[in-house]
Amino acid sequence: MIINCPECGHQTSDKAPTCPNCGVEIAGKIKICTNCRQAYFTSDKECPQCNPKRKKQNTTNRKPWHSAVMIAAVFAALVIATTLYFNKEKTRSKENNAYELAVRSDDPRLMENFLNNFPNATPEHIAAIQKKLQLVNSIQDEWTKARQSKSKSDLQNFLTKYPNTTHKAEIQNLIDSIDWAETEKSNTIDAYQQYLEEHPYSNHAPIARENIKKINTQTVQPEERTAIDNLLTNFFRSINSRSEEALTATLSPNMTSFNNIAAPTQEDVLQWMRRQYKEEGTHILWRLNHQLNIQKREIGDNAYEYTVKLNGTEEIKNNLQNSTNNYNITAIVSPDHKISSININKITDENP
Protein backbone atom coordinates (compact mmCIF):
# COMPACT_ATOMS: atom_id res chain seq x y z
CA MET A 1 0.00 0.00 0.00
CA ILE A 2 1.02 3.64 -0.39
CA ILE A 3 2.09 5.27 2.81
CA ASN A 4 3.65 8.52 3.94
CA CYS A 5 7.27 8.04 4.95
CA PRO A 6 7.37 8.42 8.74
CA GLU A 7 10.68 10.23 8.41
CA CYS A 8 10.12 12.83 5.65
CA GLY A 9 6.40 12.45 4.77
CA HIS A 10 7.15 11.54 1.15
CA GLN A 11 4.70 9.03 -0.34
CA THR A 12 6.17 5.65 -1.05
CA SER A 13 5.22 1.94 -1.02
CA ASP A 14 5.28 0.06 2.29
CA LYS A 15 7.15 -2.64 0.37
CA ALA A 16 9.97 -0.27 -0.74
CA PRO A 17 13.31 -1.15 0.82
CA THR A 18 14.06 2.53 1.51
CA CYS A 19 12.38 5.86 1.08
CA PRO A 20 13.40 7.25 -2.32
CA ASN A 21 13.47 10.73 -0.84
CA CYS A 22 15.32 10.52 2.46
CA GLY A 23 16.75 6.98 2.30
CA VAL A 24 15.41 5.48 5.55
CA GLU A 25 14.51 1.78 5.59
CA ILE A 26 10.82 1.08 4.94
CA ALA A 27 10.14 -2.60 4.27
CA GLY A 28 9.82 -4.52 7.57
CA LYS A 29 10.66 -1.45 9.61
CA ILE A 30 7.24 0.21 9.82
CA LYS A 31 3.72 -0.58 11.00
CA ILE A 32 0.34 1.09 10.52
CA CYS A 33 -1.38 2.82 13.41
CA THR A 34 -4.85 1.29 13.94
CA ASN A 35 -6.09 4.61 15.18
CA CYS A 36 -4.88 7.20 12.60
CA ARG A 37 -3.88 4.76 9.86
CA GLN A 38 -0.42 6.49 9.55
CA ALA A 39 2.81 4.58 9.20
CA TYR A 40 5.41 4.73 11.96
CA PHE A 41 8.62 2.94 12.80
CA THR A 42 8.41 -0.35 14.62
CA SER A 43 11.10 0.95 16.94
CA ASP A 44 8.56 3.42 18.28
CA LYS A 45 6.37 1.89 20.99
CA GLU A 46 3.44 4.08 20.12
CA CYS A 47 2.25 6.03 17.09
CA PRO A 48 3.97 9.44 17.13
CA GLN A 49 0.95 10.97 15.43
CA CYS A 50 -1.42 9.87 18.13
CA ASN A 51 1.08 10.45 20.97
CA PRO A 52 3.14 13.55 19.85
CA LYS A 53 4.66 14.11 23.27
CA ARG A 54 6.41 10.78 23.07
CA LYS A 55 7.58 11.24 19.47
CA LYS A 56 11.26 10.62 19.07
CA GLN A 57 13.75 10.56 16.30
CA ASN A 58 14.43 7.14 14.82
CA THR A 59 18.06 7.04 14.12
CA THR A 60 18.60 3.34 13.73
CA ASN A 61 16.74 3.12 10.42
CA ARG A 62 18.55 6.03 8.62
CA LYS A 63 21.22 5.47 6.04
CA PRO A 64 24.68 6.80 7.15
CA TRP A 65 25.34 8.43 3.73
CA HIS A 66 22.66 11.05 4.31
CA SER A 67 25.05 13.08 6.52
CA ALA A 68 27.89 12.53 4.03
CA VAL A 69 25.82 14.07 1.28
CA MET A 70 25.26 17.15 3.39
CA ILE A 71 28.96 17.43 4.21
CA ALA A 72 29.91 17.01 0.54
CA ALA A 73 27.45 19.71 -0.45
CA VAL A 74 28.91 22.12 2.08
CA PHE A 75 32.47 21.31 0.93
CA ALA A 76 31.53 21.81 -2.71
CA ALA A 77 29.99 25.16 -1.87
CA LEU A 78 33.19 26.20 -0.11
CA VAL A 79 35.31 25.11 -3.08
CA ILE A 80 33.13 27.02 -5.50
CA ALA A 81 33.16 30.14 -3.34
CA THR A 82 36.94 29.97 -2.96
CA THR A 83 37.42 29.48 -6.72
CA LEU A 84 35.14 32.39 -7.51
CA TYR A 85 37.00 34.58 -5.03
CA PHE A 86 40.44 33.80 -6.46
CA ASN A 87 39.19 34.15 -10.03
CA LYS A 88 37.78 37.53 -9.14
CA GLU A 89 41.07 38.56 -7.52
CA LYS A 90 43.00 37.30 -10.56
CA THR A 91 40.76 39.28 -12.90
CA ARG A 92 41.15 42.37 -10.72
CA SER A 93 44.94 41.98 -10.74
CA LYS A 94 44.99 41.61 -14.54
CA GLU A 95 42.77 44.65 -14.87
CA ASN A 96 45.04 46.74 -12.64
CA ASN A 97 48.15 45.68 -14.58
CA ALA A 98 46.47 46.42 -17.90
CA TYR A 99 45.28 49.76 -16.58
CA GLU A 100 48.74 50.81 -15.38
CA LEU A 101 50.23 49.84 -18.74
CA ALA A 102 47.56 51.69 -20.72
CA VAL A 103 47.49 54.85 -18.62
CA ARG A 104 51.27 55.26 -18.82
CA SER A 105 51.42 54.65 -22.57
CA ASP A 106 50.70 56.86 -25.56
CA ASP A 107 49.77 53.85 -27.69
CA PRO A 108 46.03 54.00 -28.45
CA ARG A 109 46.00 50.26 -29.12
CA LEU A 110 46.78 49.50 -25.46
CA MET A 111 43.96 51.77 -24.35
CA GLU A 112 41.47 50.25 -26.78
CA ASN A 113 42.51 46.75 -25.69
CA PHE A 114 41.89 47.67 -22.05
CA LEU A 115 38.40 49.00 -22.79
CA ASN A 116 37.56 45.92 -24.90
CA ASN A 117 39.04 43.33 -22.53
CA PHE A 118 37.74 44.82 -19.27
CA PRO A 119 34.26 46.21 -19.90
CA ASN A 120 33.44 45.67 -16.21
CA ALA A 121 36.48 47.54 -14.91
CA THR A 122 36.04 50.16 -12.24
CA PRO A 123 34.28 53.32 -13.50
CA GLU A 124 37.31 55.38 -12.49
CA HIS A 125 39.64 53.26 -14.64
CA ILE A 126 37.32 53.31 -17.63
CA ALA A 127 36.86 57.08 -17.41
CA ALA A 128 40.60 57.70 -17.10
CA ILE A 129 41.45 55.51 -20.10
CA GLN A 130 38.68 57.04 -22.22
CA LYS A 131 39.97 60.52 -21.42
CA LYS A 132 43.56 59.51 -22.20
CA LEU A 133 42.49 57.86 -25.47
CA GLN A 134 40.64 61.00 -26.53
CA LEU A 135 43.75 63.10 -25.83
CA VAL A 136 46.05 60.69 -27.68
CA ASN A 137 43.73 60.62 -30.71
CA SER A 138 43.66 64.42 -30.73
CA ILE A 139 47.46 64.56 -30.67
CA GLN A 140 47.58 61.92 -33.41
CA ASP A 141 45.36 64.11 -35.59
CA GLU A 142 47.74 67.04 -35.04
CA TRP A 143 50.69 64.85 -35.95
CA THR A 144 49.03 63.63 -39.14
CA LYS A 145 48.36 67.22 -40.25
CA ALA A 146 51.93 68.32 -39.46
CA ARG A 147 53.46 65.38 -41.31
CA GLN A 148 51.25 65.77 -44.36
CA SER A 149 51.94 69.51 -44.55
CA LYS A 150 55.65 68.82 -45.24
CA SER A 151 56.29 72.17 -43.60
CA LYS A 152 59.39 72.61 -41.47
CA SER A 153 57.67 75.19 -39.27
CA ASP A 154 54.65 72.93 -38.68
CA LEU A 155 56.92 70.04 -37.70
CA GLN A 156 58.99 72.25 -35.40
CA ASN A 157 55.84 73.65 -33.77
CA PHE A 158 54.53 70.13 -33.12
CA LEU A 159 57.87 69.09 -31.58
CA THR A 160 57.93 72.21 -29.41
CA LYS A 161 54.39 71.51 -28.20
CA TYR A 162 55.06 67.80 -27.59
CA PRO A 163 58.81 67.47 -26.85
CA ASN A 164 58.44 63.89 -25.55
CA THR A 165 56.46 62.61 -28.52
CA THR A 166 57.24 59.15 -29.84
CA HIS A 167 57.48 60.77 -33.31
CA LYS A 168 60.53 62.86 -32.31
CA ALA A 169 63.06 60.87 -34.37
CA GLU A 170 60.76 60.86 -37.41
CA ILE A 171 60.23 64.63 -37.13
CA GLN A 172 63.97 65.24 -36.94
CA ASN A 173 64.48 63.08 -40.04
CA LEU A 174 61.74 64.93 -41.92
CA ILE A 175 63.24 68.32 -41.00
CA ASP A 176 66.64 67.02 -42.05
CA SER A 177 65.24 65.98 -45.45
CA ILE A 178 63.54 69.37 -45.94
CA ASP A 179 66.73 71.27 -45.06
CA TRP A 180 68.84 69.03 -47.28
CA ALA A 181 66.54 69.57 -50.27
CA GLU A 182 66.79 73.34 -49.82
CA THR A 183 70.57 73.13 -49.39
CA GLU A 184 71.04 71.12 -52.58
CA LYS A 185 68.82 73.56 -54.41
CA SER A 186 70.97 76.50 -53.28
CA ASN A 187 74.22 74.59 -53.88
CA THR A 188 76.40 77.22 -52.24
CA ILE A 189 79.14 76.94 -49.66
CA ASP A 190 77.16 79.10 -47.22
CA ALA A 191 74.12 76.83 -47.58
CA TYR A 192 76.16 73.67 -47.03
CA GLN A 193 77.95 75.16 -44.02
CA GLN A 194 74.67 76.24 -42.44
CA TYR A 195 73.28 72.74 -43.03
CA LEU A 196 76.30 71.19 -41.30
CA GLU A 197 75.85 73.52 -38.32
CA GLU A 198 72.23 72.41 -37.91
CA HIS A 199 72.71 68.74 -38.83
CA PRO A 200 76.32 67.79 -38.03
CA TYR A 201 75.53 64.06 -37.68
CA SER A 202 73.12 63.72 -40.59
CA ASN A 203 73.58 61.03 -43.23
CA HIS A 204 73.91 63.91 -45.70
CA ALA A 205 76.77 65.55 -43.77
CA PRO A 206 79.59 63.74 -45.68
CA ILE A 207 77.98 64.75 -48.99
CA ALA A 208 77.72 68.36 -47.78
CA ARG A 209 81.43 68.43 -46.93
CA GLU A 210 82.32 66.87 -50.28
CA ASN A 211 80.18 69.44 -52.12
CA ILE A 212 81.87 72.28 -50.23
CA LYS A 213 85.22 70.94 -51.38
CA LYS A 214 83.96 70.57 -54.94
CA ILE A 215 82.60 74.12 -55.02
CA ASN A 216 85.83 75.43 -53.54
CA THR A 217 87.70 73.65 -56.29
CA GLN A 218 85.50 74.89 -59.13
CA THR A 219 84.26 78.27 -57.95
CA VAL A 220 86.06 81.43 -56.92
CA GLN A 221 84.41 82.58 -53.74
CA PRO A 222 83.69 86.28 -53.12
CA GLU A 223 86.31 86.46 -50.38
CA GLU A 224 88.89 84.93 -52.75
CA ARG A 225 88.04 87.41 -55.49
CA THR A 226 88.37 90.29 -53.02
CA ALA A 227 91.73 89.05 -51.77
CA ILE A 228 93.12 88.70 -55.31
CA ASP A 229 91.80 92.11 -56.34
CA ASN A 230 93.44 93.68 -53.28
CA LEU A 231 96.75 91.90 -54.03
CA LEU A 232 96.94 93.19 -57.62
CA THR A 233 95.78 96.65 -56.55
CA ASN A 234 98.60 96.75 -53.98
CA PHE A 235 101.09 95.63 -56.64
CA PHE A 236 100.28 98.56 -58.92
CA ARG A 237 99.81 101.04 -56.08
CA SER A 238 103.33 100.24 -54.90
CA ILE A 239 104.51 101.16 -58.40
CA ASN A 240 102.53 104.39 -58.24
CA SER A 241 104.12 105.23 -54.88
CA ARG A 242 107.50 103.85 -55.94
CA SER A 243 107.61 101.70 -52.78
CA GLU A 244 110.00 98.82 -53.21
CA GLU A 245 109.04 97.38 -49.83
CA ALA A 246 105.33 97.36 -50.64
CA LEU A 247 106.04 95.89 -54.08
CA THR A 248 108.18 93.10 -52.64
CA ALA A 249 105.42 92.25 -50.16
CA THR A 250 103.10 91.31 -53.04
CA LEU A 251 105.60 88.93 -54.70
CA SER A 252 106.23 85.23 -54.14
CA PRO A 253 109.87 84.44 -53.30
CA ASN A 254 109.71 81.73 -55.99
CA MET A 255 108.39 83.45 -59.08
CA THR A 256 107.98 81.54 -62.32
CA SER A 257 107.55 84.39 -64.83
CA PHE A 258 107.67 88.18 -65.12
CA ASN A 259 107.05 89.92 -68.44
CA ASN A 260 107.92 86.69 -70.22
CA ILE A 261 111.19 86.26 -68.29
CA ALA A 262 111.38 82.77 -66.81
CA ALA A 263 112.25 82.21 -63.16
CA PRO A 264 112.76 85.87 -62.26
CA THR A 265 113.73 87.10 -58.83
CA GLN A 266 112.03 89.78 -56.80
CA GLU A 267 115.01 91.98 -57.64
CA ASP A 268 114.19 91.64 -61.35
CA VAL A 269 110.75 93.16 -60.67
CA LEU A 270 112.26 95.97 -58.61
CA GLN A 271 114.74 96.76 -61.43
CA TRP A 272 111.84 96.97 -63.87
CA MET A 273 110.07 99.51 -61.65
CA ARG A 274 113.27 101.56 -61.27
CA ARG A 275 113.59 101.78 -65.04
CA GLN A 276 110.07 103.18 -65.22
CA TYR A 277 111.27 106.11 -63.07
CA LYS A 278 114.66 106.66 -64.76
CA GLU A 279 113.65 110.03 -66.16
CA GLU A 280 113.76 112.88 -63.67
CA GLY A 281 110.36 114.05 -62.44
CA THR A 282 108.50 110.98 -63.67
CA HIS A 283 105.03 110.36 -62.25
CA ILE A 284 103.28 107.04 -62.91
CA LEU A 285 99.63 106.27 -62.25
CA TRP A 286 98.25 102.77 -62.77
CA ARG A 287 94.50 102.23 -62.82
CA LEU A 288 92.85 98.80 -62.96
CA ASN A 289 89.38 98.06 -64.30
CA HIS A 290 88.89 95.44 -61.56
CA GLN A 291 87.00 93.18 -63.92
CA LEU A 292 88.92 90.08 -63.00
CA ASN A 293 88.65 86.87 -65.01
CA ILE A 294 89.83 84.22 -62.55
CA GLN A 295 90.43 80.54 -63.15
CA LYS A 296 90.92 78.37 -60.10
CA ARG A 297 92.98 75.18 -59.92
CA GLU A 298 93.55 72.81 -57.02
CA ILE A 299 97.22 72.00 -56.59
CA GLY A 300 97.02 70.31 -53.18
CA ASP A 301 94.69 69.45 -50.35
CA ASN A 302 92.62 72.64 -49.98
CA ALA A 303 95.38 74.53 -51.78
CA TYR A 304 94.46 76.53 -54.88
CA GLU A 305 96.27 78.49 -57.57
CA TYR A 306 94.56 81.33 -59.45
CA THR A 307 95.17 82.52 -62.98
CA VAL A 308 93.94 86.11 -63.31
CA LYS A 309 93.35 88.24 -66.39
CA LEU A 310 92.40 91.93 -66.32
CA ASN A 311 93.05 95.24 -68.00
CA GLY A 312 94.87 98.27 -66.70
CA THR A 313 95.81 101.78 -67.77
CA GLU A 314 99.20 103.42 -67.19
CA GLU A 315 99.65 107.19 -67.26
CA ILE A 316 103.23 108.47 -67.43
CA LYS A 317 104.13 112.11 -66.98
CA ASN A 318 107.68 113.53 -67.11
CA ASN A 319 109.73 116.11 -68.91
CA LEU A 320 109.88 113.97 -72.06
CA GLN A 321 106.40 112.56 -72.40
CA ASN A 322 102.86 112.61 -71.24
CA SER A 323 101.34 109.30 -72.33
CA THR A 324 98.52 106.91 -71.53
CA ASN A 325 98.70 103.26 -72.47
CA ASN A 326 96.37 100.33 -71.97
CA TYR A 327 97.63 96.89 -70.96
CA ASN A 328 96.53 93.30 -70.78
CA ILE A 329 97.65 91.87 -67.47
CA THR A 330 97.95 88.15 -66.75
CA ALA A 331 98.98 87.04 -63.28
CA ILE A 332 99.22 83.81 -61.33
CA VAL A 333 98.48 83.97 -57.61
CA SER A 334 99.83 81.26 -55.32
CA PRO A 335 97.85 79.55 -52.49
CA ASP A 336 99.44 81.96 -49.97
CA HIS A 337 98.09 84.88 -52.05
CA LYS A 338 101.37 86.07 -53.48
CA ILE A 339 102.08 86.88 -57.13
CA SER A 340 104.16 84.03 -58.58
CA SER A 341 103.86 85.21 -62.19
CA ILE A 342 102.81 88.48 -63.86
CA ASN A 343 103.03 89.58 -67.46
CA ILE A 344 102.07 93.10 -68.47
CA ASN A 345 101.54 93.50 -72.25
CA LYS A 346 100.72 96.80 -73.96
CA ILE A 347 97.62 96.79 -76.11
CA THR A 348 98.46 97.87 -79.67
CA ASP A 349 96.91 97.49 -83.06
CA GLU A 350 99.13 94.48 -83.61
CA ASN A 351 98.55 93.15 -80.07
CA PRO A 352 94.96 94.00 -79.14
pLDDT digits (tens, 9 = 90+) for 161-210: 999 888 999 999 999 999 999 999 999 999 999 999 999 999 999 999 99
Band the pLDDT of 32: cuts 50, 70, 90. Answer: confident
Residue 92 lies in a domain: yes
Band the pLDDT of 327: cuts 50, 70, 90. Answer: very high
Rounded distance between C-alpha atoms, residue 229 and residue 291, angstroms:
9
Band the pLDDT of 30: cuts 50, 70, 90. Answer: confident
Percent of the chain whose pLDDT exceeds 90: 51
The pLDDT score that the predictor gives to residue 67 is: 64
Q: Are strands 339-346 and 303-317 parallel, antiparallel or unpaired?
A: unpaired
Residue 147 lies in a domain: no
Average pLDDT, the chain: 88
The residue out of 101, 119, 142 marking a domain boundary is 142
Segment 40-96, tens digit of pLDDT: 888 887 888 887 655 444 444 445 555 676 787 788 888 888 777 767 777 778 888
* Shared-domain flag, residues 226 and 342: yes
Residue 97 lies in a domain: yes
* Shared-domain flag, residues 132 and 230: no
* Shared-domain flag, residues 263 and 341: yes
The residue out of 92, 109, 142 marking a domain boundary is 142
Establish how many alpha carbons lie within 13 A of residue 86's alpha carbon, considering only the half-sphere containing its beta carbon: 5
* Shared-domain flag, residues 256 and 328: yes
* Shared-domain flag, residues 197 and 231: no
- Domain enclosing residue 178, as ranges: 152-218
* Shared-domain flag, residues 193 and 273: no
Which whole-number Å values give the CA distances from 156 to 152, 185, 198, in the listed order?
Answer: 6, 21, 13
Band the pLDDT of 248: cuts 50, 70, 90. Answer: very high
The pLDDT score that the predictor gives to residue 145 is: 95
Residue 75 lies in a domain: no
Rounded distance between C-alpha atoms, residue 2 and residue 18, angstroms:
13
The neighbouring-strand residues paired with 2 are 13
* Shared-domain flag, residues 234 and 341: yes
The pLDDT score that the predictor gives to residue 127 is: 93
Measured in whole angstroms, how far is the alpha carbon of residue 187 from the centre of its chain?
Answer: 26
The length of the chain, given as a count of residues: 352
Q: Is the pTM of this model over 0.75?
A: no
Segment 197-242, tens digit of pLDDT: 999 999 999 999 999 988 877 789 899 999 999 999 999 999 999 9
Does residue 36 surpass a pLDDT of 60? yes
Band the pLDDT of 292: cuts 50, 70, 90. Answer: very high
Q: How many domains does the chain have?
A: 4
The pLDDT score that the predictor gives to residue 58 is: 46
Is there a contact between 335 and 298 (Cβ–Cβ < 8 Å)? no
In this predicted model, which residue has the larger pLDDT, 53 or 17?
A: 17
- SS3 sequence of the chain: CEEECCCCCCEEECCCCECCCCCCECCCCEEECCCCCCEEECCCCCCCCCCHHHCCCCCCCCCCHHHHHHHHHHHHHHHHHHHHHHHHHHHHHHHHHHHHHHHHCCCHHHHHHHHHHCCCCCHHHHHHHHHHHHHHHHHHHHHHHHHHHCCHHHHHHHHHHCCCCCCHHHHHHHHHHHHHHHHHHHCCHHHHHHHHHHCCCCCCHHHHHHHHHHHHHHCCCHHHHHHHHHHHHHHHHHHHHCCHHHHHHCECCCCCEECCEECCCHHHHHHHHHHHCCCCCCEEEEEECCCCEEEEEEEECCEEEEEEEEEEEEEEECCCCEEEEEEEEEEEECCCCCEEEEEEEECCCCCC
Summarize the confidence of residues 320-328 as an average pLDDT.
90
Q: Are strands 303-317 and 39-41 parallel, antiparallel or unpaired?
A: unpaired
Residue 100 lies in a domain: yes
Summarize the confidence of residues 264-280 as an average pLDDT.
92
The pLDDT score that the predictor gives to residue 269 is: 96
The pLDDT score that the predictor gives to residue 60 is: 46
Q: In sequence order, what are the residues at sequence separation of 6 or more whose Cβ sits closer than 8 angstroms to the Cβ of residue 325?
A: 313, 314, 316, 346, 347
Rounded distance between C-alpha atoms, residue 209 and residue 192, angstroms:
7
The neighbouring-strand residues paired with 40 are 31
* Shared-domain flag, residues 136 and 208: no
* Shared-domain flag, residues 15 and 111: no
Band the pLDDT of 104: cuts 50, 70, 90. Answer: confident
Largest CA distance in the chain: 182
Rounded distance between C-alpha atoms, residue 254 and residue 338, angstroms:
10
Summarize the confidence of residues 311-325 as an average pLDDT.
90
* Shared-domain flag, residues 119 and 197: no
* Shared-domain flag, residues 102 and 186: no
* Shared-domain flag, residues 242 and 327: yes
Residue 352 lies in a domain: no
The residue out of 199, 218, 237 marking a domain boundary is 218
